[in-house]
Structure 1
């Protein structure tokens, strides 16, 4: 249960930041965002703030921001339709009742002759069969009401496709960017708690069962000398221990105000080119520094990005097989392992997953953010947009292939568990 709760929290955090990036940049560009959703499937909880409905859905495996213009409008008002109109204090139509007109006795019932709810914002119609044709102007924020549910109309200038190439590019790119930003924030927290690497000649965390612990060395001991040789940095300590495998070393340490000598027998391990080095089971020292935490968080995030890109290169060249990839089941299993090692390991794992999500979404594949960015770049180069129907078809096929890949990867994960 602890692993399940941790996975839900991690996925919720990653998805929330990703979709928040899309939402913030869309709103900045003036795009009407109908829904901000975490998860897929049936709604568990929802509330509306201004023009956006915020929802939590059953399956925490993704999310979306429903932007006006990305999908066909839910309602098309055609000649001959009977609709109810409710007006605001300025005489503009504030609600267009599509059905169940009997439930709105105060609405003016009109038979539509012509309607434009995107560009010129009007409805022309007759109150009576032989009556006068009247034009009713719409409020820019009017709602159409279907089955007693209100949906705000989307004038063309509030739709995704009407915005500049730069605004659309930034709106899509903001999702993956927020995942990289989240990784940086998590690593800042990580290094603020753990501390940042220091080169002081002090002992960091002692590994249980290794020579340093057996000899009685403590975290925080300051190393003054080893075998009578003065040391001035952690690097000096590492170098001397590494150069003396399977040897007894005399550490002169300062613990609080006392000076002590401790004998430590080093262990031996293999290194590159059949070499050997000594070790005693001590991590390097750390220090608390906000500036250091920020600097190290950027370095660690860029390191993870580099490793992800190397893994993708290996996948493309065939050095890494699909059977070595992990999907939701594999991530769940690995999260369980990190839960056992404490909060700091969970933080580091979450940051890695956030980087992974950002990188994957930037791949130039249909249905991913990278694929959508590719179409925007193609539009910029061509000077005109790609046919929306063709683009939708490409994204649909791409989504189907991604789902197929997910099934294959999930099957691999399951086989690793039981075989």
Structure 2
């Protein structure tokens, strides 16, 4: 029974991860079609094909390794191997090429820069849209009701604060809306909580709005405690925040603010990775992601469980969108960088060299994926 539940958990997680990837590639696909670019293959997964079928001018496939996907467009990577070519069976016949000459060219490379930019950013845009919709569902349907039967969202406005607390004595007051902590913008209570948790000395610089005016509180103090098991020091929260009653507008607003917070959190995490604060062992690849999703799926039998699952799905899809916009070879952001250079200089970098750069980047990404996957497996084995 335990084995069966584990299999079902993995399948459910793979399905959810597949949906996130499909939505990303679907964004490229829809805008490519809108811009009259021929899409040779729409694939979920990488590596050898498991199943494939053709409809119209496009071949659709599900591939063995659930580590991404691709939307192979005509003329996208002239002069270099593509993910489709690496997986095999993505070539077009001479008759199909000849068919393009009868009308408007379906080549990505022959479209104006602005059209190619729209196609390239469409995948990440769809991820961000999906993230917003998932968060909207989370705040609309997966929130606990208060004793009066209403639902309230946490704000960043102080509702209760003992006058004997260090925070009160160093300037914080009831009614203050926290705008920044240690120079970083606060949009949600999640931002406030995470920045306070990451503090080590119990002293925070805050910018608050009080009676319509912005005030800077340079050294707001909080009590510190020590975890007996880990020895980690952490701040003691001695305040409560106000609740905002749920309605259509506040639900939409809360979803938008949370998406902003998650997007900023992803960028900050990437910055911490580059600065050395986090190492490769702190990363999670497809195996780790599927494991996290699977655990959340297994707990989705209560309101709290569903809220956790949907929040995780939103964070992952936003992560996929943001990561793909990084200006790195083989990623959408790398392609966007080449298009920006072309738009500014009015001269395109030869497709042969651009394709080689993206291909090398793809190999490096695969190498990183292998390293992270082994790290994920080691974590699963060692617990």
What is the alpha-carbon distance in structure 2 between the residues aligned to residue 312 and residue 303 of structure 1? Answer: 14
Aligned ranges 1:239-258 → 2 under 5 Å: 239=161
The CA RMSD measured in Å over matched residues stands at 3.5
Task: Describe the superposition over 1:2-39 as per-residue Cα deviations: whole angstroms up to 9, x where unpaired.
Answer: 32123112211111110111011111111111222222
Q: Give structure 2 stretches of 5+ with no counterpart.
A: 1-6, 79-89, 150-154, 166-199, 203-220, 225-235
Q: For residues 47 and 293 of structure 1, do their structure 2 counterparts lie closer, same or farther at Cα, with a shift above 3 Å needed?
A: farther
**Counterpart residue number, 1:249:** none
TM-score by length of 2: 0.67
**Counterpart residue number, 2:309:** 346
What is the alpha-carbon distance in structure 2 between the residues aligned to residue 117 and residue 307 of structure 1? Answer: 48
**Counterpart residue number, 1:180:** 128
Q: For residues 194 and 288 of structure 1, do their structure 2 counterparts lie closer, same or farther at Cα, with a shift above 3 Å needed?
A: farther
**Counterpart residue number, 1:317:** 275
**Counterpart residue number, 1:111:** none
What is the alpha-carbon distance in structure 2 between the residues aligned to residue 302 and residue 330 of structure 1? Answer: 24
Aligned ranges 1:184-263 → 2 under 5 Å: 184-195=132-143, 219-220=146-147, 238-239=160-161
**Number of residue equivalences:** 294
**Counterpart residue number, 2:365:** 402
TM-score by length of 1: 0.62
**Counterpart residue number, 1:289:** 247
User: Could you tell me how far 1:316 is from its partner in structure 2?
Assistant: 1.7
Larger RCO (CA under 8 A, 6+ residues apart):
2
**Counterpart residue number, 2:333:** 370
User: Could you tell me how far 1:75 is from its partner in structure 2?
Assistant: 5.9
Q: For residues 416 and 291 of structure 1, do their structure 2 counterparts lie closer, same or farther at Cα, with a shift above 3 Å needed?
A: same
Specify which structure has the higher proportion of strand.
1
8 A Cα contact 2:325 2:331, kept in partner: yes
8 A Cα contact 1:3 1:332, kept in partner: no
**Counterpart residue number, 2:58:** 52
**Counterpart residue number, 1:8:** 14
User: Could you tell me how far 1:284 is from its partner in structure 2?
Assistant: 7.7
SS in 2 for 1:54: strand
SS in 2 for 1:342: helix
8 A Cα contact 2:159 2:241, kept in partner: no
User: Could you tell me how far 1:288 is from its partner in structure 2?
Assistant: 4.4
Q: Give structure 1 stretches of 5+ with no counterpart.
A: 78-95, 98-115, 122-139, 141-154, 196-203, 206-218, 223-232, 244-269
Q: For residues 185 and 221 of structure 1, do their structure 2 counterparts lie closer, same or farther at Cα, with a shift above 3 Å needed?
A: closer
User: Could you tell me how far 1:353 is from its partner in structure 2?
Assistant: 0.3
**Counterpart residue number, 2:223:** 275
Instruction: Please state if 1:331 is matched with 2:312.
Output: no
8 A Cα contact 2:283 2:372, kept in partner: yes
**Counterpart residue number, 2:186:** none
Picking from 12, 16, 29, the partner of 2:35 is 29
User: Could you tell me how far 1:162 is from its partner in structure 2?
Assistant: 0.7
User: Could you tell me how far 1:390 is from its partner in structure 2?
Assistant: 0.8
Instruction: Please state if 1:169 is matched with 2:175.
Output: no
User: Could you tell me how far 1:330 is from its partner in structure 2?
Assistant: 1.9
**Counterpart residue number, 1:210:** none
What is the alpha-carbon distance in structure 2 between the residues aligned to residue 358 and residue 312 of structure 1? Answer: 13
Q: For residues 240 and 9 of structure 1, do their structure 2 counterparts lie closer, same or farther at Cα, with a shift above 3 Å needed?
A: farther
Instruction: Please state if 1:159 is matched with 2:122.
Output: no
**Counterpart residue number, 2:318:** 355
Picking from 101, 117, 131, the partner of 2:98 is 117
8 A Cα contact 1:156 1:162, kept in partner: no
8 A Cα contact 1:40 1:59, kept in partner: yes
Task: Describe the superposition over 1:350-393 as per-residue Cα deviations: whole angstroms up to 9, x where unpaired.
Answer: 00001110111011111111111111111112212111111111
Q: For residues 75 and 287 of structure 1, do their structure 2 counterparts lie closer, same or farther at Cα, with a shift above 3 Å needed?
A: closer
**Counterpart residue number, 1:68:** 74
What is the alpha-carbon distance in structure 1 between the residues aligned to residue 92 and residue 142 of structure 2? Answer: 55
